Structures are given as structure tokens and as C-alpha cells.
A and B are shown apart, each in its own frame.
Chain A
Amino acid sequence: MSEARLWRFHGGLKLDARTARPAAESLGVVPVPRHLVLPLSQHVGQPAEPVVAIGERVLMGQPIARPSGYIGAKVHASSSGTVVEIADRPVPHPSGLSAPCIVIETDGLDEAWRGYEPLPAYSELTSNDLRARVRAAGVVGLGGAAFPTAVKLGAGSGLKLLILNAAECEPYICCDELLLRERPEEVLTGAQVLLRALGIDRCCIAIEEDKPRAKSALEAAIAAAGETRVTVVSVPALYPEGGERQLIKVLTGEEVPARGVPPDIGYLCQNVGTAVAVARAVLHGEPLVSRIVTVTGDGVARPRNLEVRLGTPIAALVEACGGYTDRASHLLMGGAMMGFPLADDSLPVIKGTNCIVVASREEIRPRAAAMPCIRCGECAEVCPAQLLPQQLYWHARSGELDRLDEYHLFDCIECGCCDVACPSQLPLTQYFRFAKTELWARDRDRARSDLARERFEARRERIEAEQEARRLRLEEKTRAAERTRGDEGARKAMIDEVLERVQARQDENDPDEPGR
């Protein structure tokens, strides 16, 4: 892939990156907290099942929960200590609900478990071996979606290109930029291991053009290693370019089919952080127990990026950034566009946590009162999925669910661009999230009523069939009776026959029913 040709995805917004302060700092570390809270569901798919008991001592990197289905991931202890609780705890999730977690009381020793053998000679291993290791190490997509990486790596044949995504386009987030600047060699190694696991020989790493330091660090690492299969591509800084579908469009000009996945058209996307996690899992036998998190916003004294053990409470991260300022009013997990709000800072960092924003009221202003839609169409101009948000809004408001389907509501990626472009200040994304749940509920209800209707119809058909059979039998009998009318002999014979049958039945029944 040369630098020559880039495409454009439709719409998008140029947003203020808001990363100047944390990006100027080096990578920090967070001390081992007293308690680590590790949710059993930190990924897309089935929650993991605990494999440790309360009171058991665990080491850093030891598996504490195993996947319960193919789409799932292991959870590992992120420091040494004792399991003190396996119970429902509040977890960082948009729903704000509780979910099962394993709580470890740490001992401060950080003693490591060495259950996975390092595999430095990975180039001699098969794809299956590498995927098995990635799965064992509990690696999931670290860009935010947390899809199990091993599942993605098994996505199929006919791949042309591995795309490593470092296009962090959302305001506040810069953890990938720090990773590229501080550990470019590891990113390159990750790319090489992934190429081996996929059995292909082309990889392109996409970095936004406003991160020249990250790009030059990576290019230096590639030159030093003499790696010719991996290229770095500068892409324009435009939100939501870090979205897989948008990035593929920019790099290749092709579109991922609406109900398909990138491998369908020969591409596989991985976040650069994921690539590093894969490299560590394979080369050093290290499971995924930590990640880089951007901690930023006007609400923290010293915004910076931190290497954080999974399960560390957010409060410890803020502590490591000099604590709160008196302007702190909002807490977000994720960036300014898609990050969801958290009610308190005792929640743990999980595998998908790329950013923690402690914002002030100036950074997150209250929504202005919504005005009627004036049909200006700016929402459609900025929509990266090429939807018509204003039409979706009309239909969502009037509850026309079929029309929502027709206007491709489920292609909405909830990026929030339409909200930001709307002069009427309509909370469009919220409408769409709500409408999606309505549609899901309707489809569930519909499936249920379809089943009930099928049952009802089957029963009615059965009853009708029985009635029809009875009617035919009766007709047959009537006809037989009519045939024999006038013929006294035959009629008598028939009567005798019937009487005989009745007698026989009585004889049969009598011994069983003495009371009769």
C-alpha cells in the first residue's frame, strides 16, 4: 500500500482533539490498589465462569475465570493476593447495573504466575497455536469494543490486508498515541505476530495526521527492523474515522456490507493496543492484565496516560493524576462523543476502558432546550453511515417502527455526529438508541406472537380435520343405511350386528366396573 491514494467516508466532524495536556506527559503507572474488582463480563459475548474460590490465593496473571462459550474471554488476576468475594458489584456499563465480579485483596507482592510458556519462535507456530495462545491470554479488542481477539483472528480465509487502527479520532482519547510513541517496537512485533497468525503478508497502520510524533516513532521502528510488510499511513483527522467501517473506506475505498464484517471483503482491523497485547501473550506468555488509559479533563489536576492494572478503581487513577480539581462535575468512560457517564469513581477499569474523563461544567454544558426540527439536513450531511437522521427522528417520534427499519436504523453506529450538527439541539442519538430497543422488543414480541399464532392455527387445522373426518364417516353411514332401507333382511342383519357389538362391549366392561 502506497501513501498515494486515500478515500473519504461520508460526513464526519472535525472536532477539537482536547489531548494537548495528557499527550504532553509521559506514560505513568498506578500503584497496586488494595482491592481489585474484576468483572466476569469485560468483553462481547458470554460472561466468564469463575475457576477460583473465595479464600484462594492467586498470582498475577493466573486465570481466575474461563470463557463459557466460543465468544468469550478468560479473566486473569492482575496482581497477587486473595480472592475475597465473588458477587454482583456495580460495573462500568451504560446500563449502570451490577454484574458478577471477582474481588481480590492484593498483598502488594505482585508475584507473577508463569503458566504460559513464552513463545519467541512464534514464526514456527501454526495459526491455530497462535490463536490458542491469544485466547488463553484473554486478549480482547482494546479500542473499546472488547470483542474477543482470538475469535476475530479465526474470521476466515481470503484476507488481503491487516489494518492496525491507531486513528483515535474521539476528543480526549490519546492512549494509542502514547503507546505508539513509547513502545513502537512492541506495536511492530504485534503486527508481525498477527500477520503470522493470519497467514498474510500485508499490514497497514493508520495514524491520524495530527500525531506526527507517533508516526515518526513507528516509522523509525519499522526501518530499524527492516520490516517491509508493514506500512504506516497518515489519515486525515476526522471523527469517527477510528470506526472500523469508516477506516476501511478511507484506506481502501471499499465498504463493508451492512450485515457483514470486514473479513467478508478481505480486511481485518485490530487496534494497536490489541496488537501489543497479542505480542506480549505470545512472546512473553503474559496474559492481558493491564492496559493504557487516558485520564483527562478539567476535573483532574494533571491529565496524563497511565498503565493500569485491570480492576483498579477509577479513584486510584485520578489519585495518580494529582487528584480532582474543584471543577470536576462529570465522570465519563470513553471519549467526548460516545463515552458513557459513570455515577461514581469506585468502578473498576476493565479491558475496554481506553479513557476516563473528569469533566467540568464548562466542558460538558447542559443541553439547550430542543426546538422543532427545521429539516436543514445537516444531520444527513455529517452522518458517516449515510443515514437520514431527521427522517429517523420523525419516525422514531411517531413510533413508526417499520419505517425505522426501512430507513436502516440498525446501521446507525451511535457516533453522535448528528447531535452535534443539529441547530435544533435535538438529542437524536438518544432517540435512536431508544428506538433500537423498541425494535428489538417488537421483534421479540412478534416472534412470541408468531409462535402463538402458529400453535393456534395448527390446533384449528387439527380440529377442522377431525370434524371433517367425522362428517365423512357419518355420511358414509347414512348412505349405507339408505342403501339397506327397503331390504328387511339386510336391515335386520345390521341391527343384530349392532346389538351384538353393544353386548360384547358390555361384557367386556362389566368385570372392570363392578359397581355398575
Chain B
Amino acid sequence: MRFELTAPPHVRPATSVTRVMGEVLLALVPATIAWVWFFGPGILYNMAVAAAVAVACEAGALALRGRPVAPQLLDLSALVTAVLLAFCLPPLTPWWITATGAAFALLFAKQLYGGLGYNPFNPAMAGYVVLLISFPEPMTRWLPPLGDTLGLAAASLDPWQTLRFTLTGMLPEGLSWDAISGATPLDDLRTQLSIARTVEEVRAGQLYGSLGARGWEWTANWIALGGVYLLWRKIIRWQIPVAVILGVCVPATLFWLLDPSGHPPPTFHLFSGATILCAFFIATDPVSAATSRSGRLIYGFGIGVLIFVIRSWGGYPDGVAFAVLLMNMAVPAIDHFTRPRTYGHAG
């Protein structure tokens, strides 16, 4: 009797790239629901545009590079990039802006470096930064969340009006940007502080909730829920999320204690903007993150500190994308200096 020959080990992995990416998408479902609740259906349209463009770009690039298209499309990584990009965009974003970001992310930040596994920068963040620099005005036109009384909440546009805006960039008759859009809380806080108001005064305003920014703090909770799910499924490890949160909180607490009227409390930093999304979903992108346990702590902490620094003294209201890209650059060095001690070797 003859037998088939296969090299050991004979136990196959219970996991796959597709499963990892699929779990990430699944973990973003609660956050998506919260987003739609507070900011209207715009994010769904943005996701659809980003996903279509991302998949088309990935397929086209793979075909041009002479690589098998099907397996790398089925790995769902392009979809994850598209969805994360969509989470960064204002709910009312014309399709061509979203498409530009997704195309840049997939073509320049990912495929030109060699595709899955070879990109040194987080593709979603690279795409977002291109949009932030190229289209500064539309990228900061956030509609206030539901429950706000200052402006017109994004959720108050009906799905049809939102779709029409996404496709044409035109607001419904009789509405103007001045009437409906408001600054994001982070943006607002920045502007107000720059005209010498104190944090207490600013936070008494309509944009702010009990922990961070109204509406935003709730979406942050739903994102964190997805993050805990990823931890439980062992898709991500605890080091990066914990380090990002500490990286934001440690300097934020310090400066808040030193100067409470000039700096918001650490909870505000945590529950506003994209801190939580970054901690669980963006900084944890394995391809562009550090790999060893101690390296991940350094990497995450660096991102957290940079987020705080850019928010406090930088030129942009939120610093997540820049913080992530800057730390991506540091990854080879971090990996080099945090190699674990091999068994039986001196430290």
C-alpha cells in the first residue's frame, strides 16, 4: 500500500487571513450601527463607494502585476481598508473624494509596495491623510450628531437627501453649509481655546457630553465593544490598544492637572475623535505595526502621545492619522531594538 507524503506538521491552522479580516469587519458592525444612529446613513454610502473603488483598484493592480486576483480579493483586506477609511470621513462626503482616498490607499499605499503584507504604512490612514491635505474644507465639514440643538443634525437629512449629496455634492434645496454643519468638538475646542476661552466654558457648550463629545462618546463605546470582541477572538492582542490609550491618557492627565483651563481632561481625549477607533482598529493593523510584545507597547504608546501632541499643539484638530503614519515609519527601528531574548541565550 502506498501513502501520500506531506511534510510535518500535519495539523492545519484553524485561522486564515480571510477569517482575521472577516472578524475585523464583523467587529465594526456595532460601531456602524451607532454611526448611522448619530450621524445618519452617510457612512453607509461612503463605505459602499470606498469598498467598490478599493476592490476594483486591488483587482486591477493585481492583474497588472500578474498576480492571481481571486485569492487576494477573497482575503477581505481591501474591504477592511475601505471600511476604516469610511469611518474617518464626514458623513456627508461627495463620492469622488471618497473614491480618491480609497484609490490612493489601495494603489499607492498598498499595491505599489507589493500588496498585502508589504505596505509599511497603514493604507486607510495614508488615503485619509491625502484627502485631509487635498480637501481640507469638505473633510472638516462634520454635521453635529443626533440630539444636538445647535445645528442641524446629519441624521435629520433623510437617506435619499444624503445619497443625493454623496452622488452630486449638492445639499437639499434651501439648505446651506452654514446652516447645518458644525465643527467637530475637537475642532471647536481648538478654536475656542485659541481665542482664550477656558475648557470649562467651552465644555459647557452644546457639543459636549458627560465624558467627551456628545454623540461621539457613544460611538466610541460601540467601537470599544467591537475591540473587546477582537481581543476575545484573539484577532488582536492587548498591547497596542492599551498602549495607545495610555499614550493619550498619560500626557493628557499630566497637562490637565497642570493647567485645567487650557487642557481638556483625559476622558475627553479618549471619547472624542478617533482615539478608540485608532486603539482597537487602526493601530492594530498587523502589517504596519511593530511585532514583538514590547515593540507593540512602544509603538502604541508613541501613537497615543503623538495624538495628544498633534491635538494640543499641531495644525490639525485630530492627529490619529498622522500619529499612526509617523509611528509606521518607526516600526523597523522598533522591531530591531525589541527582539525578544531567545530561549537559552543571555538577555
Contact = CB atoms under 8 A, between A and B. Distances in A.
A234 interface: no
A24 B17 CA distance: 38
Contacts of A340: 8
B3, B5, B7 — most chain A CB neighbours (10 Å): B3
A315 B3 CA distance: 13
Given A341-B3, A375-B287, A380-B292, A423 B13 contact: yes
B1 A324 contact: yes
B291 A425 contact: no
Contacts of B75: 371
Interface residues of B, number: 42
Contact of B16 (A329, A332, A345, A425): A425
Given A257-B344, A371-B116, A374-B117, A423 B9 contact: no
Nearest to B296: A377
Nearest to B289: A375
A287 interface: no
Interface in B1-33: 1-17, 19-20
A429 B13 CA distance: 13
Given A258-B345, A342-B3, A375 B11 contact: no
A245 B344 contact: yes
A359 B2 CA distance: 13
Given A337-B10, A372-B117, A375-B286, A423 B20 contact: yes
A423 B19 contact: yes
B237 interface: yes
B340 interface: yes
B117 A373 contact: yes
B19 A369 contact: no
A337 B118 contact: no
B292 A337 contact: no
Interface in B218-273: 237
A408 B9 contact: no
A272 B77 CA distance: 49
A312 to B, nearest CB: 17
A388 interface: yes
A375 to B, nearest CB: 5
A214 interface: no
A336 B12 contact: no
Given A375-B117, A408-B345, A388 B291 contact: yes
B343 interface: yes
B344 A337 contact: no
B1 A345 contact: yes
Contact of B6 (A256, A367, A416, A423): A367
B3 A171 contact: no
A395 interface: no
A36 interface: no
A201 interface: no
A416 B342 contact: no
Contact of B9 (A337, A345, A369): A337
Contacts of B71: 369, 371
B55 to A, nearest CB: 17
Interface string B68-107: 0001100101000000000000000000000000000000
Interface in A454-507: none
Contacts of B296: 377
Contacts of A9: 343
A260 B345 CA distance: 10
A374 B76 CA distance: 13
B66 to A, nearest CB: 15
A387 interface: yes
B10 A339 contact: yes
A422 interface: yes
Given A371-B116, A388-B339, A423-B16, A416 B345 contact: no
Nearest to B340: A386
A445 to B, nearest CB: 26
Interface string A315-336: 1000000001000111110101
Contacts of A238: none
Contacts of A328: 1, 3
A331 B5 CA distance: 8
B340 A337 contact: no
Interface string B192-221: 000000000000000000000000000000
A421 interface: yes
A345 B289 CA distance: 48
B311 to A, nearest CB: 28
A344 interface: yes
B138 interface: no
Interface in A352-379: 359, 363-369, 371-378
Contact of B343 (A338, A391, A411): A411
Given A258-B344, A343-B5, A369-B71, A374 B11 contact: no
B11 A337 contact: yes
Interface in A405-442: 407-408, 411, 414-416, 419-425, 427, 429-430
A10 interface: yes
B9 A343 contact: no
Given A15-B11, A171-B11, A368-B12, A255 B6 contact: no
Interface string B304-347: 00000000000000000000000000000001000111111100
Nearest to B284: A376
B115 interface: yes
Contacts of A371: 16-17, 71-72, 75, 116-117
A411 to B, nearest CB: 5
A339 B9 CA distance: 7
Given A330-B6, A341-B7, A427-B7, A420 B12 contact: yes
A332, A411, A415, A424 — most chain B CB neighbours (10 Å): A424
Contacts of B6: 330, 341, 364, 366-367
Contacts of A263: none
A390 interface: yes
B341 A416 contact: no
A141 interface: no
A416 B3 contact: no
B20 A374 contact: yes
Nearest to A370: B71
Given A245-B343, A386-B340, A376 B9 contact: no
8 contacts: A371-B17, A371-B116, A374-B117, A386-B340, A408-B342, A416-B8, A420-B14, A423-B16
